[in-house]
Amino acid sequence: MTEAPRVSLEWPNKDKALLAAGSSAPVWVDRSDPRANEVRLLRSSGLIGGGGTEEEIASGHLIVGDSLDALRAIEKNKLMGLDDGIRLLYIDPPFNTGQQFHQYSDSVGHAEWLSALRDRLNAVKPLLHPLASIWVHLDDGEVHRARCVLDEVFGADAFVSTIVWQKRKTRESRSAFSSNHDYIHVYAPAGPQVWKRSRNLLPRDSSSARNRDNDPRGSWTDAPFTAPGFRQNQHYPIKNPAGMSLMPPKGRSWYATEPVFRELLEDNRIWFPRDGAGLPRIKRFVNAEPGLVPFTLWGGDEGGTNDDAKRHLMSMFPNETAFATPKPESLLHRIIQIGTDPGDIVLDFFAGSGTTAAVAHKLKRRWVAIERSSKIVSTYLLPRMRCVIEGDDPDGVTKEVNWSGGGAVGLHSLSDSIYKEDSDQAELAIQEWAPELVKSLFDESARISSDIGPFICEYQGKRVAFIAGYLDKHSAQILINSSKPGDRLLIYAERWTAASKRLVLRRRPGSFLLPLPIDEVLRHKVTSSNSTATPKNVIESVHLQPV
């Protein structure tokens, strides 16, 4: 039997890569373009909370920068504490509504939106735990196209379910229909049945539980000892403590056969209400009952609403404009509760106001939050996490999970691109501080030239390049292509991969790779600018991970 043709969604430039970070508009390039494969350097700028020491492992990591660059950087830079793999990915990407919000623009072409989503999902795949789940939150606009992308990246067999969440309880009278819900696609690369065995059930509502007979096993709820339908072996008389002989109501049977009933009665698991004159009911002990399989329909009373989230943000930031559709902590509480256990890693690469990070922190999960806008980070996300760490956030799920503060957050940023953005053909960037750096590192025989491509100078028969970032195979190949066979290269870089080093030494024997003298770089940056910063405080604010 021949395999059925694979169904896929097509869009313009699907075969190309989309460059968005740092550009005024998205730019399509061939996938072979080195800018499409660049690995940025992940720079740590210390911790907030905890003991404040670099040696302390952070509870969470906050990365400022484009999410695609950050995901590649996490994989290559081996961010501390993430070797276990991401157990849960939740993203609430821009819905592409065509609107301009206070914090961000929510209007791009369908093709750009789809490529951006696909590329980031592909980049996160190597970081996932074998039992990971992916939760993608959307509205009506792109939800159907996103399902096709998720099928393409993770496989249609990875689809678990689509949750419908009631995002508002009020009625919108200006529309043809009042849109009161969003969708959350749930995928598990291991497959729904495998993931089902590892996911958590929802806790039962124990608010009505009591211990009316002082049972040593604790509080309990009760349910009718009947079942729908007629079953002959479940029809027998039961005598209650009041002496009445009872049979099941019409159209129903007892919940179990008579031998099972006798066992339950002897174990004090049968309750007769109305002082012993009622029908039998089965006792369900709170501590012994399994949880509940999650429904796919989540009401606002269970998962909160956008309005709940707005009120929470406004209480924390009374002088700032609230996000238009923030997600409530109770919604993320439910998602993280289902998909993870304490200590597991939660990732959100569209972090926004920081709801995912805040809830993951309160639930004692490790987490990574990535947000491109430094303004959103400084205005909302970072202050919010400071409140969480200091136990100064009384709202959201704080009382429900008994959170009183603690933990630490590692702060990170990404190095700039080492490629010129205004070049039709990607070249390594020549940093403006390089000429001064050459003078401090070499003698006067170093010949600075502007006609030797991405190289800064020639010195003692070697072509010298400075890479203020990560030297990967693609950037190494550009240096090789810009030189001639027989040339020897002297490459200063902050970090490099083993593969890029092997490539340089194989193609250009006699070459050297050396750590970039960052102290010198910072000194020249400060000297050449009008900033009042000093080398010392620049180093403190942009602390580099060891090479």
**pLDDT for 339-396, tens place per residue?**
999 999 999 999 999 999 999 999 999 999 999 988 899 999 999 999 999 999 999 9
Residue 544 pLDDT class (50, 70, 90 cuts):
very low
pLDDT in tens, 288-327: 777 889 999 999 998 999 999 999 999 998 888 877 789 9
pLDDT at residue 127 tops 90? yes
The mean-pLDDT minimum among 73-87, 234-248, 256-270 falls in: 73-87
DSSP symbols for 264-311: HHHTT-EE-HHHHTS--EEEEETTT---BPPPSEE-HHHH--HHHHHH
Q: List, in order, residues 6 or more apart from 102 with CB less than 8 Å away.
A: 321, 323, 324
Q: What is the mean pLDDT of residues 525-530?
A: 56
Per-domain residue ranges of the chain: 40-201+293-414, 220-285, 434-541
Instruction: Using the structure block, give the residue that is written with the tokens 């990404």.
Output: 414
The DSSP letter of residue 18 is E
**pLDDT (tens digit per residue) in 54-101:** 445 678 999 999 999 999 999 887 776 778 899 999 999 987 755 554
Burial 29-39 (b: 16+ CB within 10 A, else e): eeeebbbbebb
Which pair of structure tokens corresponds to residue 447? 């010949």
**Pair of tokens at residue 241:** 């403590």
Q: What is the pLDDT of residue 105?
A: 56
Asked if 368 and 356 touch (Cβ cutoff 8 Å), the reply is no
Digit-coded pLDDT (tens) for 445-474: 888 876 667 888 889 889 999 888 889 888
Nearest to 279 by CA among 344, 220, 227: 227
Task: Tell me what the pLDDT averaged over the chain comes to.
Answer: 86
Q: Which residues contact 160 (CB under 8 A, 6 or more apart)?
A: 133, 186, 187, 188, 192, 195
First to last CA, the chain: 55
Superfamily of domain 40-201+293-414: Vaccinia Virus protein VP39 (3.40.50.150)
151 has pLDDT over 70: yes
b/e map of 403-428 (b: 16 or more CB within 10 Å)? beeebbbbbbbbbebbbeeeeeebeb
Res. 115 pLDDT band, cuts 50 70 90: very high
Query: Is 90 exceeded by the pLDDT of residue 287?
Result: no
Q: Which residue has the higher pLDDT, 473 or 188?
A: 188
Identify the burial level of 197 via C-beta atoms within 10 angstroms of its C-beta, where 0-12 means exposed, 13-18 middle and 19 or more buried.
Answer: exposed
CA distances from 301 to 317, 328, 334, 400 (A): 24, 11, 12, 14
Say whether pLDDT at 52 is over 50.
no
pLDDT confidence bin for 236, thresholds 50/70/90: very high
What number is the average pLDDT over the span 232-249? 95
Residue 495 burial (CB < 10 Å; 0-12/13-18/19+)? buried
Phi, psi of 274 (to 5 degrees): 55, 45
Which among 420, 412, 528, 473 has a CA at the least distance from the CA of 73? 412
- The answer, yes or no, to whether residue 122 has pLDDT greater than 70, is yes
- Structure confidence at residue 104 (pLDDT): 52
- Say how far apart CA 391 and CA 387 lie, in whole Å: 6
Q: Give alpha helix (H) positions in 363-425.
A: 374-376, 382-389
Confidence (pLDDT) at 208: 76
pLDDT above 60 for 102: no
Band of pLDDT at residue 217, cut at 50, 70 and 90:
confident
The arithmetic mean of pLDDT across residues 262-281, rounded, is 94
Question: Residue 280's beta-bridge partner residues?
Answer: none
User: Where would I find the H helices in 129-282?
Assistant: 143-154, 192-196, 258-266, 273-276
- Cα–Cα distance for residue pair 118/150, rounded to 1 Å: 8
pLDDT for res 61? 94
Radius of gyration of the chain (CA): 30
Alpha-carbon distance of 399 to 340, in angstroms, equals 20
Q: 276: phi > 0 → left, psi -120 to 50 → alpha, else beta; which?
A: left
- Torsion, Cα of 274, 275, 281, 286 (10° steps): 110
Residue 36 CA, chain-centre distance (Å), reads 22
* Nearest by Cα to 86 from 340, 381, 334, 413: 340
Query: Exposed, middle or buried: residue 310 (CB in 10 Å: 0-12, 13-18, 19+)?
Result: middle
